[in-house]
Structure 1
């Protein structure tokens, strides 16, 4: 009986030990599985430093359309906002008064032409009589003076006729240059004053320029000249070739900016008044890095960071960034040459998280 009791006690103890061991195994936390990540190796290189701001397009050559004569506006001959060619008739002024003036001037010129011809004949006869002694010197001088007077009157009448003809031609207001015509400032039926009325403006589209004004703080100690690089981007991100053609020699003290202007290439899509993005090169960042934009994270305090793969773990690095360049972000500091930047799994990573490179990851190249 005693042996049976001892055996039962030993069996109970063994069962308790086995149950305790199973419970310990159940409570132990499983080891974290390394996250598969993709990386890209970064390498130091000199990168241009750009500052970015808004610029506005303006017509390089805006021409005013004004009438040379006063009168009632009769007709508008162009579609407002359309492209017009130099010499196109844009406006017509009521021409009846100018035709009447031309007719009058032409009649006066013909009258003086007849009177001049008569004076020429009289002078010729008097000259013949004077040579034969049949006319006095005074008769000859009077005939010559009359001829000269009629000649002057005829020349004046011709000038008046020409002036009336020019004025009549000016009732058709022509485009002084090719370009895009603005909205007409007067409507048909309005009285045009040649001394003050502006009818429209023409903007030459192939000479559009971009004006912008970087701040003194952004410029820092940089020396901007006409040879400095400038880049212009439309609102949809398309880059347009541009070159600086004006740099102010001083700052505007009222706003602390420096006015600059860039000329665009001839085949640009920008129209006057449009806002664009301008990048101006002000320096070169030595030993900077290009990092894919998707790998750069911004903290709540405004600083930036990336995850670097090192010794099988994800290490968080604080970085200083510049502007975007294509699909990359220029990182000025915080990295070392050859660092492996993690480009995925960013929301699941923490400082020190175990990682492994994805099996299908292509070999990293110099970025």
Structure 2
């Protein structure tokens, strides 16, 4: 045995074997292959709509129409939805009481006219006799006073006659503008008070959309902001609009702030009173926005972030700004660029620098019988 160990060849073989074993022990374990990870490509939202609200199609102006005096509605000449012209008679009161007043005023006016004629003739005679000294100066003064009274009575009678004519004319309710009747508040045979609405007339050039916004929403709306109006009864029809007016006070009935939007153009099928969805577009200064699955969001301390996959498949955490949260989506307004690839799921199961194999993200389908939301 000593001779065997002493041989040079044996010692060289043993040394080579030990070196090989040492090299095997120092070799690092092989890197695991990249794990498949669902990802999405960052793309700007196609529709720059920040949020939407229910609205109704309306005319720029609406006016309640009422009689200027009380009375019994004898007949109506217009109904809900009718298009009317300016000056058209819409309803009439029973003219009986006002006709009697008019006849009395006319009789009083005729009597005052005759009394004035008599006073004027008497004054002319007294003037002529006074110049010749045939009557006393006091009698002439008395005649002049009677003439003044007759003139005053005649003027009063004329004003009373004009008032009676106006009252007679006020028994007819007349449209002040071309427009459409959008409400009826009284019917034939009903006694109405002066100023009590009988109709509501919508009028003005073009059409508008009207919405009532919550205080948290109206703070972001100002005249000139663009929006899109989609009538519920006309699927697929989308009309551009611009905010025309924003109420400075809330409606006590619903605590909403009324916003009126002017439609740039209308379609023939559009009608007053149709409901619509009004989508307010984000201001141009807001920049691009990107909608991602909620599962892509990761929180780095107090700040939201997402995992971005680089060209080599390595993960890097990027802080982002969230503009809005949806039911299963999140809208990012800053921190990302178009074309970047973002981890869509499993944000809390990975680490910085980890390599992944990007696979398309497919949202989980709704459970059978669900509403799909």
- For this structure pair, what is the TM-score category when the shorter chain's length is used for normalisation? 0.5 to 0.7
Higher RCO structure, 1 or 2 (CA under 8 Å, sep 6+): 1
Q: 1:251 to 1:334 in 2, by over 3 A?
A: farther
Match of 1:232 among 216, 224, 229: 229
* Aligned-partner Cα distance in 2 for 1:211–1:258: 8
SS in 2 for 1:186: coil
1:287-317 Cα shifts (integer Å, max 9, x gaps): 7789xxxxx9x89x799xxxxxx9xxxxxxx
Q: What's the CA shift for 1:243?
A: 1.1
Per the normalisation by structure 1, the TM-score is 0.60
Q: 1:142 to 1:273 in 2, by over 3 A?
A: farther
Q: What's the CA shift for 1:242?
A: 1.2
Q: 1:98 to 1:215 in 2, by over 3 A?
A: closer
* Aligned-partner Cα distance in 1 for 2:359–2:279: 41
- The 8 Å contact of residues 63 and 176 in structure 1, kept in 2 or not, is answered as no
1:233-286 Cα shifts (integer Å, max 9, x gaps): 22213222311123467999xx99876432223635252362323222146676
Please show how residues 185-224 of structure 1 align to structure 2 within 5 Å: 185-194=185-194, 196-204=195-203, 206-213=206-213, 216=216, 224=221
Gaps of 5+ in 1: 1-41, 291-295, 304-309, 311-319, 324-329, 340-349, 354-367
Structure 2 counterpart of 1:109: 109
Q: 1:76 to 1:130 in 2, by over 3 A?
A: same
Structure 2 counterpart of 1:241: 240
Q: What's the CA shift for 1:64?
A: 1.0
Structure 2 counterpart of 1:175: 175
- The 8 Å contact of residues 180 and 203 in structure 1, kept in 2 or not, is answered as yes
Q: 1:248 to 1:87 in 2, by over 3 A?
A: closer
1:100-156 Cα shifts (integer Å, max 9, x gaps): 211111111111111111110000000111111100111100110111100110111
SS in 1 for 2:186: coil
* Aligned-partner Cα distance in 1 for 2:126–2:73: 55
- The 8 Å contact of residues 45 and 289 in structure 2, kept in 1 or not, is answered as yes
* Aligned-partner Cα distance in 1 for 2:237–2:126: 87
* Aligned-partner Cα distance in 2 for 1:258–1:62: 18
* Aligned-partner Cα distance in 2 for 1:80–1:256: 28
- The 8 Å contact of residues 52 and 280 in structure 1, kept in 2 or not, is answered as yes
Q: What's the CA shift for 1:43?
A: 9.7
Structure 2 counterpart of 1:5: none
SS in 2 for 1:182: strand
* Aligned-partner Cα distance in 2 for 1:223–1:192: 44
Q: 1:133 to 1:169 in 2, by over 3 A?
A: same
Q: 1:54 to 1:43 in 2, by over 3 A?
A: closer
Structure 2 counterpart of 1:279: 280
Q: What's the CA shift for 1:199?
A: 1.0
Per the normalisation by structure 2, the TM-score is 0.59
1:41-93 Cα shifts (integer Å, max 9, x gaps): x9977977421212323443211111112221110111322111221111111
- The 8 Å contact of residues 75 and 188 in structure 2, kept in 1 or not, is answered as yes
* Aligned-partner Cα distance in 1 for 2:248–2:152: 59
Q: Structure 1 stretch 265-274 or stretch 99-108: which is displaced more?
A: 265-274
Q: What's the CA shift for 1:184?
A: 2.9
